[in-house]
């Protein structure tokens, strides 16, 4: 018996070519495609770095603004020093003007009282009468004043609160020899609208020159009168 062909041989339809395996190589995936997790981590790191850089730039901007502000304030400090020196220069004329404004014959306000040094006698060697008088330790200085009450209530005026300053800056109180002065003040009450006139007596060194009268009413109101 003749050999039969293998019944299991593949059957290929006529006219159709058999499929051949593709000769084209498959495209190789990129590193990022093959490592998605690492790619995501790197992306987060990059975003974090960018954010840090942006934040650092903002911080530098604020610091620069502060520095600019401080540098802008530096001239202000310099100007303040100049202003202080300018004010110091202005204070001296102001004080001189104040002394000139409150001179002999010109009233000065001390609270509700208005005090005027009408005249000054210096180098006086005796007060009182020839038979009943007193000599000074140095020289007597007599200051003739008038005190007007511009308030609505009675005010007291005590000569013990009125100080005499000499050319060496020494402060002198009134002399206890006031009793030898007929129009001594010592301590007087002045009613509203009234004016008290009298003389205050000081005993100062013979070589001293009176320069300023410091007048006061109570403990809070004070002023100065130039005697030059």
DSSP track, 180-200: G-TTB-SEEEE-TT-EEEEEE
Identify the domain containing residue 40 by its residue range: 31-101
pTM for this prediction: 0.57
Domain boundary among 101, 133, 149: 101
CATH of the domain at 152: 2.60.40.1240
- Whether 127 and 214 map to the same domain: the answer is yes
- Whether 72 and 108 map to the same domain: the answer is no
- Whether 80 and 106 map to the same domain: the answer is no
Domain boundary among 68, 101, 134: 101
- Whether 63 and 164 map to the same domain: the answer is no
Quick one: tokens of 50?
């960018």
Domain boundary among 78, 101, 124: 101
Task: Note whether residue 13 is domain-resident.
Answer: no
- Whether 150 and 95 map to the same domain: the answer is no
* Spatial distance between the Cα atoms of 225 and 116, rounded to a whole number of angstroms: 8
- Whether 96 and 107 map to the same domain: the answer is no
Task: Note whether residue 22 is domain-resident.
Answer: no
pLDDT in tens, the chain (228 residues): 444 444 454 545 454 445 555 555 555 566 656 667 777 777 777 777 776 676 655 444 444 433 334 444 444 555 555 566 566 556 655 555 544 548 999 999 999 999 999 999 999 999 999 889 999 999 999 999 999 999 999 999 999 999 999 999 999 999 999 999 999 999 999 999 999 999 999 999 999 999 999 999 988 899 999 999
- Under 8 Å between Cβ of 113 and 149: yes
How many Cα atoms within 13 Å fall on the side-chain side of residue 224?
A: 16
- Coil, strand or helix at 127: strand
Check residue 41 and give its pLDDT: 72
- Whether 122 and 215 map to the same domain: the answer is yes
DSSP E strands: which ranges in the chain? 107-110, 113-124, 127-128, 133-134, 139-149, 155-158, 163-166, 171-172, 187-190, 195-204, 210-217, 221-226
């Amino acid at each position: 018996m003749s050999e039969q062909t293998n019944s299991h041989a593949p059957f290929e339809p006529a006219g159709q070519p058999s499929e051949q395996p593709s000769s084209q190589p498959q495209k190789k995936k990129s590193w990022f495609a093959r490592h998605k997790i690492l790619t995501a981590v790197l992306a987060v790191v990059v975003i974090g770095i960018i954010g840090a850089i942006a934040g650092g730039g903002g911080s530098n901007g604020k610091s620069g603004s502060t520095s600019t502000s401080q540098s802008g304030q530096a001239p202000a400090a310099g100007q303040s020093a100049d202003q202080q020196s300018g004010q110091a220069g202005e204070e001296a004329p102001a004080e001189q003007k104040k002394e000139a404004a409150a001179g002999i014959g010109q009233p000065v306000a001390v609270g509700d009282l208005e005090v005027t040094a009408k005249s000054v006698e210096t180098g006086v060697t005796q007060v009182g009468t020839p038979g009943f008088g007193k000599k000074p330790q140095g020289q007597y200085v007599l200051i003739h004043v008038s005190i007007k009450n511009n308030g609505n209530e009675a005010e007291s005026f005590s000569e013990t609160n009125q100080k005499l300053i000499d050319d060496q800056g020494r402060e002198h109180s009134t002399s206890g020899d006031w009793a030898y002065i007929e129009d001594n003040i010592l301590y007087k009450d002045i009613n509203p609208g009234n004016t008290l006139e009298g003389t205050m007596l000081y005993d100062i060194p013979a070589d001293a020159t009176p320069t300023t009268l410091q007048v006061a009413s109570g403990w809070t109101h004070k002023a100065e009168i130039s005697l030059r």
